[in-house]
Amino acid sequence: MRMSTKAQYAVRAMVNLNLHSEGQPVSLRDISLRESISLTYLEQLFVKLRRGEIVKSVRGPGGGYLLARPAKDIQVDEIIDSVEESLVPVSCMDQKNGCACEDQCVTHNVWHGLGEKIRQFLSSITLDDLTTEAKSKLKH
């Protein structure tokens, strides 16, 4: 049971973006330098974050990325969903088309319940929460 570094990077990058934005676009290059994440890898992530309508891009000089909506309205599970990291613990339950084993699998309910707990927890935390926390840490 591991959260992929892809998901971890995405969340860290989003916090960093929000922390340094203040209404202005932030370039991936800046985030790359501050968080020590390869620029080209960030690019991959932000393509997905844009499609997930978590951020919007501004092209040209002085461009970069902005939050697509207020940080309060961005939940951690949405960030992870966007980079295509499944939160459901077993593969047979992945797709929309349900799970054939539902009636047979004894253990189905365990994983299903676990998946709901995970989502529940991650959707209770917003990007704003994390940013506020980061700010208070920086002060010390």
Partner DNA sequence: AAAGTAATTGACAGTTTTACTCAGGTATGC
Partner DNA sequence: GCATACCTGAGTAAAACTGTCAATTACTTT
Interface with DNA (CB under 7 A)? 2, 4-6, 9, 25, 27-29, 38, 40-41, 43-44, 46-47, 50, 57-65
Ranges assigned E (strand) in the chain: 55-58, 64-67
The two tokens of residue 33 are 């330098």
Please, which residue, 1 or 106, has the CB nearer to DNA? Answer: 1
Contact 88, 115 (CB under 8 A): yes
Residue type, 19: L
Q: Nearest distance from residue 136's CB to DNA, in Å?
A: 27
CB closer to DNA, 90 vs 129: 90
- CB neighbour list of residue 57: distance below 8 Å, 6 or more residues apart: 46, 50, 63, 64, 65, 66
Give Dmax over CA atoms of the chain in angstroms.
58
Q: Please report, as ranges, the residues that interact with a copy of itself according to CB under 8 A.
A: 1-4, 7-8, 11-12, 15, 76, 80, 85-91, 103-104, 106-107, 109-111, 113-114, 117-118, 121-122, 125, 130, 133-134, 137
Shortest Cβ distance from residue 59 to a copy of itself (Å)? 28
The site partner of 137 among a copy of itself, DNA, none (C-beta below 5 to 8 Å per kind) is a copy of itself
Residue 133 contact among DNA, a copy of itself, none, beta carbon within 5 to 8 Å by kind: a copy of itself
Binding at 29: pick from DNA, a copy of itself, none (beta carbon under 5-8 Å per type): DNA
Our CB check for DNA shows the closer of 60 and 98 to be 60
Neighbouring CB atoms inside 10 A of 109's CB total 10
Instruction: Answer for the pair 64, 25: CB distance below 8 angstroms, yes or no.
Output: yes
Q: Which of 106, 29, 87, 90 is nearest to 63 (CA)?
A: 29
